[in-house]
Structure formats: C-alpha cells, structure tokens
Amino acid sequence: AEFLDRFLPKEMSEEEIEAWIRENLDLSQFKTPLAAIGVVTKALGPRAPGEKVRRVIERLTS
C-alpha cells in the first residue's frame, strides 16, 4: 500500500476543497448548489471525491 500511496494523488481535505471553491467559483451562478459538484470534481479530479465535494457545497449553501 505504501508503494501505491507514493503515486496516487492525495485526497484533499474538506477544508482544502472549500478554500478552492471560495477562490474559484461563485456558487450563486449555478441554478442549484448541487450543479456545482460536477464542475468542482472535474476541476479537481480524483483528489476531490464527489461525496466530499457535495458535503462542502451543502455546508456553504445552507
């Protein structure tokens, strides 16, 4: 497992995802808050799993 960990991208924390969203997106431009999930997961790739992105966006828009 340690061998693979060196090559796989490290998963971002919810705090890192939130910081990226605040710096790069205006969540009010999306018809629904959840519409932003695809944009964030596409931009950040495997480092930001969709479930984690969803939790962050829900917290930011509640």
What Rg do the C-alpha atoms of the chain give, in angstroms?
13
Say how far apart CA 54 and CA 48 lie, in whole Å.
Answer: 10
The model's pTM:
0.83
Over residues 3-59, the pLDDT tens digits come to 767 777 789 999 999 999 999 999 999 999 889 999 999 999 999 999 999 999 999
Domain spans of the chain, in order of start: 2-61
